[in-house]
Structures are given as C-alpha cells and as structure tokens.
Amino acid sequence: MRHPLVPQEKVLYNLSMRLDAFLSKFAGFSRSQSRKLIKDRAVTLNGEVANDSSAAVDEGDMVVVNGMTVEAFGMIYIALNKPADYVCSREKAEGKSVFDLVETNFSAELSVAGRLDKDTTGLVLLSNDGKFIHEVISPRNLVEKEYLVETTDEITVEQVSTLSIGVFIGKNEFSKPVFIEVIDSSHLKIVLTEGRYHEVKRLVSAAGNNVRRLHRTRIGSYVLSSRLEPGEWDYLSDAEKKRITGT
C-alpha cells in the first residue's frame, strides 16, 4: 500500500535542535550512532558536510545521511489491520509486534491506542499524540469499540440475556456492553466503551460460552477499511480522527 506524505504541520522539534538529537529522533539512530555518522562525515546540513554533533538544526533545514534526506515528522495517526499472532507490545520475548508492520522513521515514536490480544485481529490505532491516545482509551470519554465475536458453542437466549443486563467478569469487575447483536448461532456483535483486560473474552465466558475468534471492526464511528488487508496500515485524515474521538 502506498502511504501519503507524513503530515508536517506540527513538527515535533524545537527551532534549535542539536543535529545528533535530530538524527536520533527522525532517522531512528541512537545518539551514539548519530555522533559516529557525523564523525565519519556521512551527514550534510544544508549541503555542507557536518562535523559538529551540537550544530543547530532549524525548521526548514535539510539534513542528509549517506545520500538520504531525513524528513522531520509531525503528529502521526495510523489505522492498522492487525493480523493474528502479533502483539501490541515492544517486548521482543512476546513475539512479532504490530510496530514491526510500520517500518518507517517514526515507528519508534508510536504507541497503541487500545491494545488487542495476540490472537485477536482487526482495528488498531497508533499515534505519537498522547492526548489523542488518552481520548481514545479513557473510559470517561465513552468511545465505542465494536467487536465481532465467534463463539465455541451455540449462543443461547440465556447467554444473550446475561450479556444484555451485565455480569461480573472476575476481580470484582462488572461489565455491561452498550450494544449486543446476535448475528447467527455462533456469532455476536458486542460494543464496549471501557476496554478492560480481556474484557470480551471474560464477558462471554461469564455468560457461559467461550470465544473462538475475536475481531475489532470499529472505534468511535470509524470503521476498519476493507481496503486494508491484514498487516496493512494507512494514515488517518482529520475527518477520520474526528469520527474516532468526536473532537
């Protein structure tokens, strides 16, 4: 998938940022790697070979490393179609990460706005905007998250009734979906606004069934695009962001 240019309207650096800090933030190098590149004369600043790690980089300056221009980026907002067997974590011991699917110079700056379990698929939002992430995940904001649930056993009338009125799901936590729709004998649509740990699975289990597959289809009023295959991602437009948070 082709991605549009990274938004530049809110650049995340001061008007006088050190060159090694600029490379570390926007090129993905460590600070020591950045200094070595400068020492090795592999970096130019506005067309001149840079030899000072503390040289100031101002907005509009051009920084090139080994012939490649380093682009500063602004606030990033991404929708990703998470495949199964990927974690929403950077812990290498946990396995393949959704961050590995976003191979860009800003990947290290991203955080997940509402994690999914390793075996759960569907819509994941990533951003470097802490305010946006808080707006998405805070229970106070009542941002809806919609899930398509496949159960291991046939769904009964009693189970639907239990889910509809709410149920304790363990650890003295009570959960009540804001919406439930029975699609067929083994598929449900469940909408939540909180996002507790394993909440959908615990809900279904407490009602007397179990989850075989779980897929998140919507956050707020933003629906996962059918254009995104598992593992693909795209930037969110301002209108799409507003559909998520309402602001």
Same domain flag for 110 and 149? no
Distance in angstroms (rounded) separating the CA atoms of residues 169 and 215: 20
Distance in angstroms (rounded) separating the CA atoms of residues 97 and 130: 20
Q: What is the CATH number of the domain that holds 214?
A: 3.30.70.1560
For 101, the domain range is 77-139+225-245
Residues 56-80: pLDDT tens digits? 998 889 999 999 999 888 889 999 9
- pLDDT at 118 exceeding the cut of 50: yes
Distance in angstroms (rounded) separating the CA atoms of residues 23 and 196: 38
The mean pLDDT value of the chain amounts to: 91
Distance in angstroms (rounded) separating the CA atoms of residues 109 and 10: 15
Residue 235 Cα distances to 122, 230, 238, angstroms: 16, 15, 10
- pLDDT at 231 exceeding the cut of 90: yes
Contact 167, 225 (CB under 8 A): no
Instruction: Quote the pLDDT of residue 15.
Output: 56
Same domain flag for 127 and 235? yes
- pLDDT at 215 exceeding the cut of 70: yes
pLDDT category of residue 10 using cuts at 50, 70 and 90: very low
Strand partners for 45:
48, 63
Query: Is residue 182 a part of any domain in this protein?
Result: yes
User: Strand, helix or coil at 137?
Assistant: helix
- pLDDT at 2 exceeding the cut of 60: no
Q: What is the CATH number of the domain that holds 46?
A: 3.10.290.10
Same domain flag for 233 and 207? no
State the CB neighbour count (10 A cutoff) for residue 184.
9
Same domain flag for 132 and 229? yes
Same domain flag for 152 and 208? yes
Taking the chain, what is the end-to-end CA distance rounded to the nearest angstrom? Answer: 28
Same domain flag for 234 and 131? yes
Whether the model pTM is above 0.95: no
Q: What is the greatest pairwise CA distance in the chain?
A: 73
State the CB neighbour count (10 A cutoff) for residue 162.
17
pLDDT category of residue 5 using cuts at 50, 70 and 90: very low
Task: Average the pLDDT over 136-149 and give the result.
Answer: 96
Query: Is residue 239 a part of any domain in this protein?
Result: yes
Same domain flag for 167 and 132? no
Give me the sheet containing 48-49, strands edge to edge: 48-49, 43-45, 63-65, 68-69
**92-106, 137-151, 163-177: least confidently modelled range:** 92-106
Instruction: Quote the pLDDT of residue 3.
Output: 53
Query: Is residue 181 a part of any domain in this protein?
Result: yes
Highest mean pLDDT among 12-21, 108-117, 198-207: 198-207
Q: What is the CATH number of the domain that holds 232?
A: 3.30.70.580
Distance in angstroms (rounded) separating the CA atoms of residues 115 and 196: 10
- Structurally, the chain folds into a number of domains equal to 3
Tokens of 180: 């439930």
Query: Is residue 4 a part of any domain in this protein?
Result: no
Tokens of 7: 């938004």
Instruction: Quote the pLDDT of residue 205.
Output: 97
Task: Average the pLDDT over 92-106 and give the result.
Answer: 89
In this structure, which amino acid lies at residue 142? L
Query: Is residue 34 a part of any domain in this protein?
Result: yes
Same domain flag for 134 and 173? no
Strand pairing category for 145-151 and 187-192 = antiparallel
Task: Average the pLDDT over 127-144 and give the result.
Answer: 94
Instruction: Quote the pLDDT of residue 243.
Output: 96
Residues 179-198: pLDDT tens digits? 999 999 999 999 999 888 99
Query: Is residue 51 a part of any domain in this protein?
Result: yes
Active site residues: 117
Same domain flag for 83 and 60? no
Same domain flag for 59 and 112? no
Strand pairing category for 48-49 and 43-45 = antiparallel
Query: Is residue 12 a part of any domain in this protein?
Result: no
Query: Is residue 9 a part of any domain in this protein?
Result: no
Same domain flag for 133 and 154? no
Same domain flag for 238 and 171? no
Q: Hey, what long-range contacts does 30-38 have (CB within 8 A, 24 or more apart)?
A: 37/65, 37/66
Task: Average the pLDDT over 227-233 and give the result.
Answer: 96
